[in-house]
Amino acid sequence: MADIFDPLSLPCGRTLPNRIAKAAMEENMADQTAGLGQVPGDALVNLYSAWADGGAGMIITGNVMVDPTALTGPGGVVLEGDTLADPQVRERFSNWAAAGKAGGAAMIMQISHPGRQIYAAQGTEAVSASDSRLDMGRESLSNMFAPARAMTDDEIRGLIRRFGETALAAKSAGFDGVEVHGAHGYLLAQFLSPLTNRRDDDWGGSLENRARLLLEIVRTIRDRVGEDFILGVKLNSSDFQKGGFDVGDATQVVDWLGAEAVDFVEISGGTYESAAMMGDSQDGRISQSTVAREAFFLEFAEQIATAATMPLMVTGGITRRDTIEQALATDAIDLVGIARALIVTPDLPNRWKAGEGVSGSVQTVSWKNKAFRSVANMALAKANLRRLSRGQAPKISINPVLASLVQQKNQAMQTKRYKAWLERSG
């Protein structure tokens, strides 16, 4: 059984100082006022400096987008292959990487494409494995997202190149690695799931074909970045939707990833339609007892571990040291990711190392409607992310209605700036 503060050697040869990872959260904090595009700025540097000082062994950024027309939110950071040709932009990304690495952690850039999970207000075309649209349970919520068309074969091959170019740019900027986001209903998960992938060509049908895009991206990245760069994959244990990608599928995909020089696989779950990653699921398999236990996907990860030849990381509502110890005690898990608890208590790993019996505090709402509840919980997290990025102490309790209204206002402002940038650059 590994101790929380034991180092972990990854297949690429890099060693993490401990078994705690700051898991990715979508910050939507690009500096849109600098005239440089969707780039990191002081807010993200301050935020990641706080986490670097907190003692995690690995720090994973929120979504960085590989395509400027496909953002999970209008304040998202974009990194394309030629972005760093501008010295000012290169400095922005290098400063962000340096901030995360300052405390000795490995700084990992999560790279992603949202596919159909893109807001209609952003004014860009949504694409997916097949023609589809999100069903959020209420028409008003579903209409927030653009209908998606199926990608062409040429577009799919272009996307593979984009992921490789973004990974190489991340390495050039000083990041220690990348994590390919293949979970949470984003584009790669849309290709993996039979609910959203109804293609009858080489990219659809069998699981082998549905996994082809993810595997091709991983191979391309490894070819571009070399052997000593950390390459991780975030994968759903399940979509938590009837007829979707499930744990048996995930186990097989992890088996295939074992032949692709992957350094770790993070096990998560859910989509925008079934927000298991937030403690809710459409099919009810994430129950209140699961939420209270924490490590929502641990049981699924233990099954997946039977096929894993690389380290596995598990995330999902973790706030307590004993939860991490229980996960590591299974011998199936090598890393444990903490997300929202590190917003309110960014130095939680260091406090545990010092012997303090403290737990992370996470405020959530218990509204009846799952979609509104998920939106409010994300707004609460983002309210404290903004405070932390300004050097302010996080708040234990925030008005969720006010936080949601502020988030809507911020998103409207970011959308206006994003669309103006696209028009200028396009």
pLDDT, tens only, 266-320: 998 777 765 544 444 444 444 443 344 455 678 888 899 999 999 999 988 888 8
Dihedral in degrees, nearest 10, Cα atoms 180, 184, 188, 191: 160
Helix ranges restricted to H, 330-369: 341-344, 348-353
Render pLDDT for 314-346 as a digit per residue (tens, 0 to 9): 988 888 899 899 889 988 999 999 999 999 999
**DSSP code of 355?**
T
**Which residues have CB under 8 Å from 127's CB, separation 6+?**
70, 115, 116, 148, 149, 150, 151, 155, 187
Query: Which of 231, 229, 65, 52 has its CA nearest to residue 159?
Result: 65
Q: Determine the Cα–Cα distance for residues 226 and 61; give it in Å rounded to an integer.
A: 21
Q: Determine the Cα–Cα distance for residues 278 and 271; give it in Å rounded to an integer.
A: 10
Read off the pLDDT band of 237 (50, 70, 90).
confident
- Please tell me the predicted confidence (pLDDT) of residue 281: 41
All domains of the chain, ordered by start, with CATH?
8-362 (3.20.20.70)
Q: Determine the Cα–Cα distance for residues 275 and 320; give it in Å rounded to an integer.
A: 22
Mean pLDDT in the chain? 91
Percent of the chain with pLDDT over 90: 75
**Least confident residue range of 36-45, 242-251, 381-390:** 242-251
Render pLDDT for 65-112 as a digit per residue (tens, 0 to 9): 999 999 999 999 999 999 999 999 999 999 999 999 999 999 999 999
- Please tell me the predicted confidence (pLDDT) of residue 336: 95
The helix (run of H) or strand (run of E) holding residue 338 is strand 335-338
Give the Å distances, CA to CA, from 421 to 39, 41, 411, 426.
12, 16, 15, 8
How far is C-alpha 90 from the geometric centre of its chain's CA atoms? 23
